[in-house]
A = this chain, B = another copy of it.
Amino acid sequence: MTDLSEKMHKPETVCIFGTGDFGRSLGLRLLQSGYNVVYGSRGPKNSLLLPKGSKVMTHAEAACEARVVFVAVQREHYGFLSSLASGLEGKVLVDVSNNLRRGLYPESNAEYLSRLVPGATVVKAFNTISAWALQSGGLDANRQVLLCGDRSDAKQQLMDIAQSLGFTAVDRGSLRAAADLEDLPLQLFPLWRLPLNIAICLTAFIFFYALTRDVIYERVTNGKDITFRIMVSLANKAFPIVSLVMLSFCYLPGALAGFLQLYNGTKYRRFPDWLDRWMLCRKQLGLLALAFGFLHVLYTLVIPIRYYVRYRINVYTISLVKDNKTYEFDNMAAWRYDSYYSMGILGFGLFVLLGITSLPSVSNSLNWREFRFVQSKLGYITLLLCTVHTFLYAYMLSLVVPCVVLILKLILITPCVDSKVTRIRQGWERQGKTSANGRDTKTNQPLMA
């Protein structure tokens, strides 16, 4: 079995400074992946909490044992490392730290570490991986270990370790990128912010408009107290409008981009910043629209069990009896109401389907053609059904945006325009410009990420 052990580059020894949650999880995972693990600790006697199979030494001793030293210590405690500087000469120091808040320090933790121990090569890595992901094996999206550093051989070592641990390593450039990497775990739904703000503002506007018109005005002129309507009626007025407008906002930037590409005659010119930002949060706009649509469905289905509605029907029936009148059946109204409900149900059904296909695990199992078919073709059919549904109910003002989007799309899919757009998206450029595909490109603007 000699020739086998020669082939193996492991068991390599890795050193970890710090015996906190992250240090322990990392050590356990390294051991499970075939590495030797040495912990550096101030009080090397206590090893009860540490994973079985690891050794504990003083920091200086531990650093001697390995080429790669993980610094799993909070930034405030980095001070002690400067006293170890000579022992860390030539080592690869891995900064895995995160801060509690943004903007706590002027420079990134990794750059600070690099200043403290100038003789070592600092790599920022693993800070986007949680102790939990290390323990559970890092599945799915958490599988990416982002790293950055100034020396590519040091980064390569970390990439090998990350790969052995079952992660995918992605190099994000020089140590200057460390500030960005340290920012990532502190983010709170950055792409949802704009869509959420739009949704909240729209909802508030429509709600207060309807409150003034339907409730307060009624109170002032007729003296009737119908404030109870706030809870269901007003909500069910605001939610569907917001849903439809958000769904239109989801498809509007794509249509605008098509026209812009037609106008520019190339796909290699960058879109204006606001359009880029808008394009990036289309999925979030669509999902919020779905959420509001879902609430609208529930608020609508709850109508017949409302106290007020039952009261009204009862009063109406009694009044018909007393006045000895009959309810004249209006065939037109039956058609209109039933169409209204049917369009709404089919639109909502398709909308739910769009929502399901935007789940990461589902959209990842589609090929590009299938994804485009669902999100574009089915998406526009959903918008069309929901627009017709709203039209039958006659909230006319809310139809402006969806109609604009539908008309723009209609223009884009007329055969002559469509063939031009398709050619442009395949790399064709108008005269004076040559395609970038295997040939020159004269556009001098960087590509949209």
Contacts and interface: CB of A to CB of B under 8 A. Distances in A.
Interface of A: 1, 4-5, 7-11, 17-21, 24, 31-34, 41-43, 45-46, 48-49, 52, 67, 72-74, 77, 80, 90, 100, 128, 130, 132, 135, 137-144, 152-153, 155-157, 159, 163-164, 166, 168-173, 184-189, 225, 227-232, 235, 268, 291, 294-295, 297-308, 310-311, 313-318, 320-322, 326-327, 329-331, 333-339, 341-342, 345-346, 348-349, 352-353, 356, 359-362, 364-365, 367-370, 373, 426-427, 435-447, 449
A228 B335 contact: yes
Contacts of A130: 368
B49 A268 contact: yes
Contacts of A268: 49
B346 A295 contact: yes
B185 A140 contact: no
B438 A18 contact: yes
Nearest to A144: B137
Contact of A170 (B32, B52, B308, B365): B32
Contacts of A303: 305
A11 B171 CA distance: 13
B335 A231 contact: yes
B438 A77 contact: yes
Contact of A304 (B42, B45, B231, B305): B305
Given A34-B152, A342-B231, A170 B137 contact: yes
6 A-B pairs closest in CB distance = A166-B168, A361-B361, A43-B440, A140-B364, A231-B338, A304-B304
Contacts of A189: 370, 373
A34 B361 contact: no
A326 B318 contact: yes
B4 A153 contact: yes
Given A49-B436, A294-B349, A188 B334 contact: no
Contacts of A305: 300-301, 303-304, 341
24 contacts: A11-B152, A20-B427, A20-B435, A20-B436, A21-B427, A33-B169, A34-B152, A41-B440, A42-B438, A42-B439, A48-B446, A49-B436, A137-B143, A138-B168, A144-B166, A166-B170, A228-B331, A231-B339, A231-B341, A291-B353, A298-B345, A302-B345, A307-B337, A308-B337
A322 to B, nearest CB: 8
B307 A338 contact: yes
Contacts of A311: 327, 329, 334
A440 B314 contact: no
A342 B20 contact: no
Nearest to A185: B367
A317 B19 CA distance: 74
B295 A74 contact: no
Contact of A20 (B318, B438, B443): B438
Contact of A370 (B188, B291, B441, B442): B188
A225 B332 CA distance: 11
A335 B424 CA distance: 58
A18 B437 CA distance: 6
B19 A436 contact: yes
A33 B335 contact: no
A103 to B, nearest CB: 15
A298 B361 contact: no
Contacts of A74: 427, 437-438
Contacts of A45: 440
Contacts of A302: 300-301, 341, 345
B360 A139 contact: yes
A334 B307 contact: yes
Contacts of A184: 367
Contacts of A444: 46, 48
A322 B5 CA distance: 98
A19 B446 CA distance: 13
B308 A338 contact: yes
Nearest to A227: B335
A159 B34 contact: yes
